[in-house]
Amino acid sequence: MRKRLNFLKPDEKRVRHIRRKAGCHRITAAVLANRGVLEDKDIHEYFNPTFSSIHNGFSMIDMERAVRRIHRALSNRERILIFGDYDVDGITSTTLLREFLTAIGADVRYYIPHRIEEGYGLKPFHIANVVKKNDIHLIITVDCGSGSYEAVLEANRLGIDTIITDHHAVSDPPPPAAAVVNPQRRDCTAGVECLAGVGVAFLLLVCLRKHLREAGYWSDGEEPNLKSLCDLVALGTVADIVPLINENRVLTKIGLEVINKNPRPGIRALIQASGIRKPFISAEDIAFRLAPRLNAAGRMDHANLGVRLLEAADFEEAKDLAESVSRLNTQRQNIENQVLKRIGMYLEEKPQLLSRKSMVLASDDWHEGVLGIVASRLARSYWRPVVLLTFKNGMGKGSARSIPSIDLYRAISACDSCLSGFGGHPMAAGLSMAPGHLEAFREAFESAVSEMAPTEAFEPFLDIDYELKLDMISNGLLDELESLQPFGPENEEPLFCATDVDIVHTRAIGQGHRRFILKQRQAKSQRPVEGVWFHMPEAYQASERFSHLVFKLRWNYWNGDKRVQLMIEEAAMQ
């Protein structure tokens, strides 16, 4: 689908101010202005992210209560259960808490439910079948629990406390837990609403370590190193597609430094299994290479496999586990492509469905584990919110994904009378319903989505940071742009546009991919620039010239050398 180009126009005074304060290139300053990085403090922290710029976790409601209850469990040698989710955010949160608590001497177990057999979140049957059976005295949920009212009530009845750490929408009223640490609570004013579940769990550990230090817990002064755990925070944060700003950007940047300097065996094995051959790992590598493999464990088998991989102390063990999740990921890709193909054929037969502003599709034989990722691909392709459901054993379960202009959770909330349950974020959600409610939900969801944004919001677009002449590209500019990483939602990698670009030479580099040598007619310097276009549309194969070219600027690292490379995103022929 062709995208409209939206040229961003930052205030010139702001750009000059940023350039003066940061001592950077004008183009870099314009990118920062486009991202809303305007104040002196924000400019400094953007280029120099450290732990000191992270909010005080104790400003979160119930954090003090959570920390004191965990301290009591440690002192009394109570058995603790970490209850996590089956996606990468949940897997990393579980591993993070388990590693820290084990290191400080806690009696700790973990449990992650099976995606298909048990579904999402802590449920009443878990209290009897898992908690009571294993003599658990304290439950700590990670990346789940905010809607587990009945389960917490059952735990309370048995005298078992629950601490909820989560970032999903909270039930009203909240579960009657010993503590509900969630930045989405209406009464939480800490200003960390963007955190992923693993980010909330990390702040819990920051506060717990501080509390234990002040209580004299470590007489020998040997406290656990929290920076070394930021690799897990980076994995979970990027994988959960939360805004990569503020705390998320800081923790991800630090986590990537840990991964690139001294990766744990599980991550090193995962990198090797992913076939990454470059000097450093980026947030993009996590999003498209590492996270899908970890996610495949919970989608196709059991998320415990992912925890075992991240916890592996021995590289050979980790290598076997990484190969296992890679095989599951291949299996997931095959099933995903089959579902996509069937949906494509269905939409060809019923093109009228594409006149709607939402897409709600269902089947009795889709694999539940791939619905989220298929919905995500459809939402990007057709630029509208997508809900996919599979109906089995008298109940429909599904996943939904959105576009930036539509708050998916709010849209689904407007249809709650059609649903048995739901939860999620503005961009992603899960839901369940009885079969007889599908049509009512489809119409209610279409109505809710239609009311939330004007018609133009459903037209795909690209934000262009700067209209760039190719002779403006320099090594210094690329180094500065690289320093703005990690890139992700709300801190997108800069996009540039160049006009009247000639193709000097081109060759295929794989199925559907091409490499180019390019020159720009109006550029003062006629120095050629390399470009690459992955999944290039067939219509452009015979092009000799582009009237405009949309691209990202990156270093191409190869054989110990690096060269400027344009990563082409979109183009128009003359």
Residues 201 and 93: beta-carbon distance below 8 Å: yes
CA angle, 51 as apex, 50 and 55 as ends, to 5°? 120
Q: Work out whether strand 496-508 and strand 545-558 pair parallel, antiparallel, or are unpaired.
A: antiparallel
Q: Each residue of 352-394: pLDDT tens digit?
A: 999 999 999 999 999 999 999 999 999 999 999 999 999 988 8
CATH number of 57-262: 3.90.1640.30
Class of residue 79 by CB neighbours under 10 A (exposed 0-12, middle 13-18, buried 19+): middle
Contacts of 477 (CB under 8 A, 6+ apart): 25, 27, 28, 553
Written as tens digits, the pLDDT of the chain (574 aa) is 678 899 999 999 999 999 999 999 999 999 999 999 988 989 988 998 888 889 999 999 999 999 999 999 999 999 999 999 999 999 999 999 999 999 999 999 999 999 999 989 999 999 999 999 999 999 999 999 999 999 999 999 999 999 999 999 898 889 999 999 999 999 999 999 999 999 999 999 999 999 999 999 987 768 899 999 999 999 999 999 999 999 999 999 999 999 999 999 999 999 999 998 888 999 999 999 999 999 999 999 999 999 999 999 999 999 999 999 999 999 999 999 999 999 999 999 999 999 999 999 999 999 999 999 999 999 999 999 999 999 988 899 999 999 988 999 999 999 999 999 898 888 899 999 999 999 999 999 999 999 998 888 898 899 999 999 998 999 999 999 999 999 999 999 999 999 999 999 998 888 889 999 999 887 777 789 999 999 888 777 777 889 899 999 999 887 778 899 999 999 887 6
Q: Each residue of 218-238: pLDDT tens digit?
A: 877 688 999 999 999 999 999
- Which tokens go with 28? 């870099």
- Residue 198, Cβ neighbours under 10 Å: how many? 37
CB hemisphere CA count around 237 (13 angstroms): 34
Query: In the sheet where 138-142 sits, what is the strand order?
Result: 107-111, 79-83, 138-142, 161-165, 179-181
How far CA 513 is from CA of 193, 300, 358, 368, 535, in Å, comes to 39, 30, 31, 32, 5
Q: What confidence score (pLDDT) does residue 1 get? A: 61
CA angle, 511 as apex, 507 and 516 as ends, to 5°? 25
- Which tokens go with 321? 């586990």
Residues 538 and 527: beta-carbon distance below 8 Å: no
Closest CA to 148 of 179, 124, 117: 124
Domain covering 350-458: architecture: Roll (3.10)
Q: For 344, phi and psi rounded to 5 degrees?
A: -60, -45
Class of residue 524 by CB neighbours under 10 A (exposed 0-12, middle 13-18, buried 19+): exposed
Q: For 235, phi and psi rounded to 5 degrees?
A: -60, -50
Q: What kind and span of H or E run contains 502? A: strand 496-508
Helices 230-239, 291-300: inter-axial angle, 10-degree rounding: 70
CA angle, 551 as apex, 549 and 555 as ends, to 5°? 135
Q: Any idea of the CA torsion for 95, 96, 102, 104, to the nearest 10 degrees?
A: 180
CATH number of 4-8+462-573: 2.40.50.460
Q: What confidence score (pLDDT) does residue 558 get? A: 78
DSSP string, 284-321: HHIIIIIHHHHHHHHHHS-THHHHHHHH--SHHHHHHH
DSSP string, 112-154: ---TTTT-SS--HHHIIIIIITTT-SEEEEES--TT-HHHHHH
Q: What kind and span of H or E run contains 69? A: helix 63-75
- Which tokens go with 95? 């591993």
pTM for this entry: 0.93
The domain locations on the chain are: 4-8+462-573, 57-262, 263-344, 350-458
What is the rounded radius of gyration, in angstroms, for the C-alpha atoms of the chain? 25
Q: What confidence score (pLDDT) does residue 221 get? A: 65
Closest CA to 236 of 99, 86, 376: 86
**Which residue bears the tokens 């057709």?**
382
* CA–CA gap between residue 303 and residue 320 (Å, rounded): 16
**Rounded (to 5) percent helix, strand, coil in the chain:** 45, 20, 35
DSSP string, 473-490: --HHHHHHHHHTPPPBTT
- Which tokens go with 553? 């600027």
- Which tokens go with 298? 């919970």
- Which tokens go with 320? 């076997």
